[in-house]
Amino acid sequence: MRVPRCLVLASASPRRLELVRGAGLDPRVVAPRIDETARAGEPPDLRVSRLAREKAQAVADDLVTRIPCAVVLAADTEVVLDGLALGKPRDPADAAAMLRALRGRGHDVLTGVHVLRLDEPRSASSVTLTHVRFRSYDDAVLRAYVASGEPLDKAGAYGIQGLGAELVESVDGSWTNVVGLPVEQLPEWLDRIGIRLADLRPDP
């Protein structure tokens, strides 16, 4: 007998929601409430892994008695240049500074993911790295992109799925990872916690 399950996306990101829906799922969205302040000396890969885990656990703790068969999916993404995480820009000037630093260079995009099921103590974690190289765009392109407003809520001040695609020269690795969730790995994560992707799809 099929156990009815619910996927909970522990993220307020519309981009992650779109990616998950593209996999044929209709998740419940719950924005996690955690302190995302970076810890001194914490490497970017450990930071995204920790924050994904803390986001998933915060949402799981809230839902465990109400939706005991839920599966919680959480992620955290950073753009890393020269070993340093850029974070999200504070304002347009900060976004422009990030985009100048990235121009004509390669950088890494790291996404930490944590998946857990509430009816058993089983979870899966991963960190995916994609290398992105930017074109040597001129200041006019940079200013126009900043003026669009798109960079302001995005790690590294760009969205590859939007107008920011114009800045990109090449992508080595998962494109969806750069968007915010390497969704092609979803079946593997679920398999590691004993759940099939089909178990989370809504009935036709």
Catalogue the active-site residues: 76
Angstrom distance (rounded) from CA 161 to CA 85:
20
Angstrom distance (rounded) from CA 159 to CA 152:
10
Angstrom distance (rounded) from CA 146 to CA 153:
11
| Strand stretches in the chain, DSSP E | 6-9, 28-29, 70-81, 84-85, 106-117, 122-134, 168-172
Q: Strand 6-9 vs strand 28-29: parallel, antiparallel, or unpaired?
A: parallel
Looking at residue 128, the DSSP 8-state letter turns out to be E
Angstrom distance (rounded) from CA 138 to CA 68:
53
Distances (CA, A) of 39 to 87, 112, 131, 187, 204: 13, 16, 24, 32, 45
Cβ-contact 108, 162 below 8 angstroms:
no
Angstrom distance (rounded) from CA 28 to CA 112:
20
